[in-house]
């Protein structure tokens, strides 16, 4: 990644570039999205990122995940904001069991302290990853248990009980 200044990384909005920012933790049912120091310039950047996130979720074989998002130093230009908010909401509604965000910046720390005990308090915003993961660990999974069917008959059991009478165009089943 080419560093353009001390706070923002210029990532390539290609599948390979985006994949470095997406991590699955299957044992915890967590999909981790690292937006730290990412700069979204326009809706094309946003759409490339969210398209890849959706592709990776589909490839995972699971529809529902807990989302853990690192927003530290993330910049979203006005030209990208509407696409970012809409795509984020759509992805959350389709695939998130819960979303927890973290940002280690002093601004976030002050916001949490200021909002504590008020209606504006966001219980899913943290200043560090460990606290965010701890919050996710308290949330119930909405995934359905996988059903594994164990056959109690074999093909041979059925073959013995089915007979095709071709001339009469009849299938007899015992």
Q: What is the pLDDT of residues 68-85, one digit of tens each?
A: 999 999 999 999 999 999
Residue 4 confidence (pLDDT) = 41
Cα distance between residue 35 and residue 58, in whole Å: 20
Please name the residue that has the structure tokens 């071709």: 166
Residue 123 confidence (pLDDT) = 81
What are the distances in angstroms from CA 157 to CA 149, 160, 162? Answer: 17, 6, 9
Instruction: Look up residue 26 and give its DSSP letter.
Output: G
Residue 136 confidence (pLDDT) = 96
Element (H, E) at 86: helix 78-95
Q: CA dihedral defined by 32, 37, 41, 43, rounded to 10 degrees?
A: 10
Label residue 9 by pLDDT band (50, 70, 90): low
CB 31 within 8 A of CB 22: yes
Q: Greater confidence, 7 or 121?
A: 121
Cα distance between residue 94 and residue 65, in whole Å: 10
CB 102 within 8 A of CB 129: yes
Residues 6+ apart with CB under 8 A from 43: 79, 80, 82, 83
Look at residue 3 and tell me whether its pLDDT is greater than 90. no
Residue 134 confidence (pLDDT) = 97
pLDDT tens digits for range 111-122: 777 887 788 777
pLDDT tens digits for range 87-108: 999 999 999 999 999 998 888 7
Full-model pTM:
0.76
Residue 160 confidence (pLDDT) = 85
Q: Greater confidence, 53 or 9?
A: 53
Helices (H) and strands (E) in the chain, counts: 6, 11
Q: Measured at the alpha carbon of residue 130, what is the angle toward residues 128 and 132, in degrees to the nearest 5?
A: 70
Residue 156 confidence (pLDDT) = 86
The domain ranges of the chain are 2-173
């Amino acid at each position: 990644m080419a560093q353009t200044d001390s706070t923002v990384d210029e990532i390539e909005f290609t599948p390979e570039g985006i994949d470095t920012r997406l991590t699955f933790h299957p044992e915890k049912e967590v999909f981790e999205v690292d937006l730290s120091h990412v700069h979204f310039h326009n809706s094309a950047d946003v759409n490339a990122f969210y398209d890849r996130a959706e592709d990776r979720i589909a490839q995972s074989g699971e529809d529902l995940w807990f989302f853990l998002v690192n927003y530290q130093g993330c910049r979203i230009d006005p030209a990208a904001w509407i696409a970012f908010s809409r795509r984020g909401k759509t992805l959350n509604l389709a695939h998130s069991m819960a979303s927890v965000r973290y940002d280690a910046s002093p601004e976030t720390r002050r916001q949490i302290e200021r909002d504590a005990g008020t209606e504006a308090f966001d219980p899913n915003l943290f200043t560090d990853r460990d606290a965010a993961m701890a919050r996710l660990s308290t949330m119930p999974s909405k995934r359905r248990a996988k059903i594994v069917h164990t056959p109690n008959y074999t093909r041979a059991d059925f073959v013995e009980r089915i007979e095709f009478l071709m001339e009469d165009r009849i299938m007899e089943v015992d």
